[in-house]
Amino acid sequence: MIRKVVCVLFVVLSVGLSTNLIAGCSNNNNSELEGKMNTTREKELFQAIESKDLAQVKAILSATAFNLEVKNSKGETPLMVATYLKYNEIAFYLIDQGANVNTQDSMLNSPFLYAGAEGNLALVQKALTHGADFTVFNRYNGTALIPAAEKGHLEVVKLLVHTPNFPINHVNRLGWTALMEAIILSNGGPTHVAIVKELIAGGVDVNIPDHDGKTPLYHAKANKYKEMIQLLEAAGAY
């Protein structure tokens, strides 16, 4: 009789243990499956963006809750990828869905910084109305304004230099302001003359020197940029 009771208890315990093991395995499998599904959805989203397929992007994001700050192997968020591709329609949609315009990738580019550097005026405008952070800097420790001034993106310069609280006199790791780069890294042509004029109109300090103590006026004279020299001197440069 005792032996029968022991046997029954052993069977019950074995069944219970097996049930728990099965349940545990099932939960683990579900977790793994969910992880794979998330990874798949992320890949699908990046692929849709790279294909410039706005309809597919919308379909993916509307199907389930999605972390828009997920990153690919290059540290790029979906919004950063759309920014690199200059596909504003997708970029705007992602921003409206809550994507962060300040998240930086492995190159320390953010959607806001890169849009400024590439002269993507519409995306810069969008970022400014969706939390653009002026204390986030690129790999040169620079703002969006500095490369815009260097590369001749006049309309972006006009916008940023007149944006309240934008650090128009920020000095990057090279020791250059936006004004300095517009002089040193340009050919002194009409576009950069217009940029120097706009920066001065926006209130930049025309006498911030570089790491060697040389001022914007010094560099303008060294390069014989007559129009820039006139603008700087009229603004009180020395």
Q: Which domains does the chain have, with CATH numbers?
A: 9-107 (1.25.40.20), 140-238 (1.25.40.20)
Share of the chain above pLDDT 70, in %: 84
C-alpha closest to that of 65 among 91, 37, 84:
37
Enter the pTM of the model.
Answer: 0.84
Pairwise pLDDT comparison (4 vs 124), residue with the higher score = 124
Query: pLDDT by residue (tens digit) across 165-177?
Result: 999 999 999 999 9
Taking all residues of the chain, what is their mean pLDDT, rounded to a whole number?
A: 88
More confident residue, 237 or 22: 237
Q: What pLDDT digit, counting tens, does each position of 94-123 carry?
A: 999 999 999 999 999 999 999 999 999 999
Q: Rounded to whole angstroms, how far apart are CA atoms 179 and 200? A: 8
CB of 206 within 8 A of CB of 236? yes
What pLDDT, in 10s, does the model give residues 25-76?
444 444 333 333 358 899 999 999 999 999 999 999 999 888 999 999 999 9
110, 102 contact by CB (below 8 A):
yes
Chain-centroid distance, C-alpha 106: 10
> Rounded to the nearest 5 degrees, what angle is found at the Cα of 115, between the Cα atoms of 112 and 119?
145
